[in-house]
Amino acid sequence: MASTKNTPFFIPTANAVDNKWWREATIYQIYPRSFCDSNGDGIGDIPGIITKIPYLKNLGVNVLWLCPIYVSPQHDMGYDIADYQAINPDYGTMEDWQRLRDEVHKVGMKLIMDLVVNHTSIEHKWFVESRASRENPKRDWYYWRPARLGNKGERLPPNNWRSFFGTGSAWEWDEGSQEFYLRIFTKEQPDLNWENPDVRTAVHDIVNFWLENGIDGFRVDAINYIAKTPNLPDAPITDPTTYHQPAMHLYLNIATVHTYLRDLNLATFARYSSTMTVGETPYVPATQMALDYVHPSRKEFDMIFQWEHMDIDRVPNTLLGWKPWALPELKQIFNRWQTLMYDHGGWNSLYMENHDQGRSVSRFGSDRTPEFRKLSAKMLAMFLSTLSGTLYIFQGQELGMANIKGWEVEEYNDVVTLTYIREEKEKRVRESGNPSPDISDLLNDIQKKGRDNGRTPMPWSGNAPHADFTTGTPWMTLNPDFRDCNAAAAVEDKTSVFYFWKELLRIRSEWKTLVYGGFRLLAPDDMRVFAYLRVRPGAKAAVVVLNFSSERVEWNVPEEASNLMDCRLVYGNYDSVEEFGACLILRAWECRLYEYEHLH
Ligand code: TEU
Ligand code: CA
């Protein structure tokens, strides 16, 4: 491409790069219940996971992250833990788990687990004791408060906090001991009182138990919720229609969280040489607040899961309301995070899916036709794998799995979805007086954002009846598209989304600029094309051009990139491409990765 100018690229100072293994790792998230069933009871299990290690090794991932497999009554699918040091019998035994750990290590991969310690299950022995009486020594392990008396003498929760899961109270009345307990999530998930040092020590013990057992790290659930504003003050009234007010600012990112996390780190992870931690932290912006969690000098986490891109299509103040989003906004979100971490020595985690989210292809790509599904899944794979940070793939993402189509509202299982539907329905009944209002539009929200979309069993083959996920009756209905989208077909087909991921992971493992380099956004306002440079002093730079639309786009290479000379196409999702010139012709969902000699 002809260059008129020869202005050097801005090359930011390289971030602190050490030899921590997790920076270059690709982490594969397993949702055990839906991964692979080995004994025909319809529930995925640990022996099933073991049989799939060769498949994962073939894909090229380095780490497996298991969603909770501990004893749990499963009110929130294992995120309500009743015993942190025992395996849920549905999933196998401790011996099975040890075998999994050993097999994973044998092939050179690592294993991380999920730590859920903002709350326990109501069935955990700590809570059973705690609720037994007001005098119980474990009473103070949770937040117990007497009722507040309303104007008409009615019993009200101790403060006006709204639950994170919906519009009801964050408190639950306990008939037995005549007090309320705090539970930000479901009523089966009472919040632990981290102000109590015994609670903190007990959590340290759990972490050390698993580290002693040879795990390589933890994903730490909802961890920015653990510190609550002292004395639990009322939230300001922003919704006059109800007593229960949004109160996130009173229980998210409260200052003491950082003391707790540093103590946790020093008592546990810091004592082991090569572990990794990733904290799940909804509603942390790309500011100093994020660095406070991840900067190495802070000794808290290695990285966090930021949420801004996952929230881009959510109607504010609703659980699952879906709204359209615009590409420039997505670009700014990634620009902020990529730049923040690079410039300040922090580190990003890169993900577009997990067990709480709709499938990325259905939200950020297109599942309108099988062809678009494949193309846009590949485009999104290129996007994620050409950014700086530790890369995460959620099970099925490597197949380009799409959201569920064709289910009725009644077929969804997830507690968040059910709460959303129930509350929206109640609201409509209240507002219209009609006892059975039309709620069919909610289906659209759920089809985009419902958590069940990511939780359908893995389609291992195109064979009926259950895609070889189980020989029995699956605990959850499979995504009906498994004949078109399944692992066996993908592994056979060199043009599959699976192979595209595999090749990207190979490229990424060799081209460290993709992992460590600086990020420079191009054409920020373009509504269809997301393009950026990845630069690293002394190394070949990368140019990434992604068409986030089903349209054919004639894209004029922006002025600031017009001195790219001798670009070489490294990879793309179409067989042939038109030359990289001043104007690129990009077909539907086309993606391209170019390399060029570095410029100074
Ligand atoms: O999630 C935290 C959380 O608040 C969201 O993921 C939430 O599920 C989403 O906003 C609803 O749409 C973690 C776990 O990942 C999730 O599965 C658990 O339900 C939650 O914590 C409680 O443990
Ligand atoms: Ca099973």
What are the sequence ranges of the domains in the chain? 21-117+197-403+454-501, 125-182, 404-449, 516-599
CA of 416 to the centre of ligand 1 (A): 9
**Please, which pLDDT band fits residue 12 given cuts at 50, 70 and 90?**
very low
Nearest to 208 by CA among 113, 303, 308: 113
Ligand located closest to 471 CA:
2
CA of 220 to the centre of ligand 1 (A): 11
For strand 568-572 and strand 144-145, is the pairing parallel, antiparallel, or unpaired?
A: unpaired
CA of 556 to the centre of ligand 1 (A): 41
- Rounded distance between C-alpha atoms, residue 32 and residue 412, angstroms: 19
**Please, which pLDDT band fits residue 537 given cuts at 50, 70 and 90?**
confident
State phi, psi for 505 to the nearest 5 degrees. Answer: -65, -35
Ligand located closest to 46 CA:
2
**Roughly what angle, to the nearest 10 degrees, separates helices 497-510 and 370-385?**
10
Which residue from 34, 84, 183, 185 has its CB within 8 A of the most atoms of ligand 1, so it is best to mutate? 185
**Roughly what angle, to the nearest 10 degrees, separates helices 415-432 and 442-449?**
160
- Rounded distance between C-alpha atoms, residue 528 and residue 334, angstroms: 16
Q: Are 183 and 190 spatial neighbours (Cβ–Cβ below 8 Å)?
A: yes
What is the predicted pLDDT for the residue at 597?
73
| Tens-digit pLDDT profile for residues 417-429 | 999 999 999 999 9
- Rounded distance between C-alpha atoms, residue 190 and residue 184, angstroms: 7
Is residue 230 packed enough to be buried (19+ CB in 10 Å), middle (13-18) or exposed (0-12)?
exposed
> What CA–CA distances, in Å, run from 8 to 113, 388, 522, 537?
45, 22, 15, 12
CATH class of the 125-182 domain in this structure: alpha beta
Residue nearest ligand 1's atom 14 by CA: 221
What is the predicted pLDDT for the residue at 5?
36
Residue nearest ligand 1's atom 18 by CA: 79
What is the predicted pLDDT for the residue at 11?
41
Which residue from 356, 413, 452, 453 has its CB within 8 A of the most atoms of ligand 1, so it is best to mutate? 356
Residue nearest ligand 1's atom 3 by CA: 222
Q: In the 3-class helix/strand/coil scheme, how is 107-145 assigned residue by residue?
A: CCCEEEEEECCCECCCCCHHHHHHHHCCCCCCHHHECEE
- Rounded distance between C-alpha atoms, residue 535 and residue 308, angstroms: 24
Is pLDDT above 90 for 598? no
Is pLDDT above 70 for 451? yes
Beta-bridge partners for 566 = none
The answer to whether residue 280 is catalytic is: yes
Tell me which residues have their CB closer than 6 angstroms to ligand 1.
76, 79, 116, 164, 185, 221-222, 280, 282, 319, 355-356, 416, 451
| Tens-digit pLDDT profile for residues 493-533 | 999 999 999 999 999 999 999 999 999 999 999 999 999 99
Q: Which atom of ligand 1 approaches the CA of 119 most closely?
A: 23
Find the DSSP H helices in 440-590. Answer: 442-449, 487-492, 497-510, 512-516
Q: Pick the catalytic residue: 280, 356, 424, 445?
A: 280
How many Cβ atoms are within 10 Å of 333's Cβ, its own excluded? 20
Q: Which atom of ligand 1 approaches the CA of 116 most closely?
A: 23
Q: Which atom of ligand 1 approaches the CA of 449 most closely?
A: 12
CATH class of the 516-599 domain in this structure: mainly beta
Domain 21-117+197-403+454-501 and domain 516-599 have a common topology? no
| Tens-digit pLDDT profile for residues 265-277 | 999 999 998 999 9
Answer left, alpha or beta for residue 439, where phi above 0 means left and psi between -120 and 50 means alpha.
Answer: alpha
Q: What is the DSSP letter of 190?
A: P
Query: Order of strands, edge to edge, in the sheet holding 529-535?
Result: 518-522, 529-535, 541-547, 591-596, 568-572
CA of 188 to the centre of ligand 1 (A): 14
- Rounded distance between C-alpha atoms, residue 164 and residue 159, angstroms: 14
- Report the chain's terminal Cα–Cα distance, integer Å: 18
CA of 113 to the centre of ligand 2 (A): 19
Residue nearest ligand 1's atom 7 by CA: 356
- Rounded distance between C-alpha atoms, residue 56 and residue 348, angstroms: 23
Is pLDDT above 80 for 300? yes
Q: Provide mean pLDDT across the span 3-15.
A: 38
Nearest to 87 by CA among 49, 59, 51: 49
What is the predicted pLDDT for the residue at 565?
56
CA of 19 to the centre of ligand 1 (A): 32
Residue nearest ligand 1's atom 9 by CA: 356
> What CA–CA distances, in Å, run from 40 to 100, 174, 478?
19, 39, 15
| Tens-digit pLDDT profile for residues 188-246 | 999 999 999 999 999 999 999 999 999 999 999 999 999 999 999 999 999 999 999 99
**Which pTM was predicted?**
0.96
For strand 390-394 and strand 110-115, is the pairing parallel, antiparallel, or unpaired?
A: unpaired
CA of 545 to the centre of ligand 1 (A): 33
**594 three-state secondary structure:** strand
Q: Which atom of ligand 1 approaches the CA of 415 most closely?
A: 19
Is pLDDT above 80 for 600? no
Q: Which atom of ligand 1 approaches the CA of 80 most closely?
A: 23
How many Cβ atoms are within 10 Å of 337's Cβ, its own excluded? 24
What is the predicted pLDDT for the residue at 559?
77
State phi, psi for 284 to the nearest 5 degrees. Answer: -110, 120
What number of H helices and E strands is found in the chain? 16, 22
Greatest pairwise CA separation for the chain in angstroms: 80
Ligand located closest to 191 CA:
1
CA of 585 to the centre of ligand 1 (A): 41
- Rounded distance between C-alpha atoms, residue 537 and residue 564, angstroms: 16
Q: Provide mean pLDDT across the span 288-294.
A: 97
Residue nearest ligand 1's atom 17 by CA: 356
Q: Which atom of ligand 1 approaches the CA of 319 most closely?
A: 12
Q: What is the mean pLDDT of the chain?
A: 94
| Tens-digit pLDDT profile for residues 538-587 | 888 999 999 999 999 999 988 777 666 568 899 999 998 766 678 889 99
Spell out a b/e string for 111-138, using b for 16 or more CB atoms within 10 Å of the CB, else e: bbbbbbbbbbbbbbebbeebbeeeeeeb
CATH architecture of 21-117+197-403+454-501: Alpha-Beta Barrel (3.20)
Which residue from 33, 70, 74, 79 has its CB within 8 A of the most atoms of ligand 1, so it is best to mutate? 79
Q: Are 559 and 3 spatial neighbours (Cβ–Cβ below 8 Å)?
A: no
| Tens-digit pLDDT profile for residues 64-80 | 999 999 999 999 999 99
- Rounded distance between C-alpha atoms, residue 443 and residue 450, angstroms: 9
Q: Pick the catalytic residue: 45, 188, 221, 414?
A: 221
Tally the C-alpha atoms within 13 A of residue 287's C-alpha that lie toward its C-beta.
5
- Rounded distance between C-alpha atoms, residue 194 and residue 370, angstroms: 49
